[in-house]
Amino acid sequence: MSETSNEGPKTFSFSKKEKLKNKKLFEELFIGGKGISAFPVKLLYVRTQFDDGPHIKVGVVAPKKKFKSAVKRNRIKRLLREAYRLNKHLVFNNIEGDFAFLFLYLGKQMPTFEEVDTSIKQLLKGFLKKESHEKID
């Protein structure tokens, strides 16, 4: 498993400090967050300020309305977290400032990892494009 880059083996971790837990930030994301969609996942993000290290904090959501079973919701959330963990290097060193991310699953069927992975990649690349354009303007 030589998937580590020159930044060391910690590159692919998803530590406790990177998890979004602040209730006010969750509300802010839903009310005033900017959004990007790549079906079946939507990314809501907002610029914020963190004191404890990571530049990006991430939350994941699977709707109870569409997936009654907690087992299915938890599986979707695990897939979303794993796809983000493997692709966060696309964003981590390429942005300035702190952001809160929220990945929402929009689909009606259980996704495969490949579906989630490709949409997360599209979302992260779209986020970078959007943020770089906003900096220039």
Rounded mean pLDDT for each run of 10 residues along the chain, 137 residues in total = 44 85 92 95 94 89 96 97 94 88 96 97 94 68
Q: Is there a domain that residue 8 lies in? A: no
Domain assignment present for 6? no
pLDDT of residue 3: 45
* 10 part of a folded domain: no
The total of other beta-carbon atoms located within 10 Å of residue 119's CB is 24
Question: pTM (2 decimals)?
Answer: 0.87
pLDDT score recorded for residue 1: 43
Residue 1 domain-assigned? no
* Parent domain of 65: 16-136
Q: Into how many domains does the chain fold?
A: 1
Give me the pLDDT at residue 7, please. 43
Using a 10 angstrom Cβ sphere, with 0-12 exposed, 13-18 middle and 19 or more buried, the burial of residue 80 is buried
Overall size of the chain counted in residues: 137
What is the model's pLDDT at position 8? 43
Query: Is residue 78 in a domain?
Result: yes
Among candidate residues 55, 77, 62, the one with its CA nearest the CA of residue 131: 55
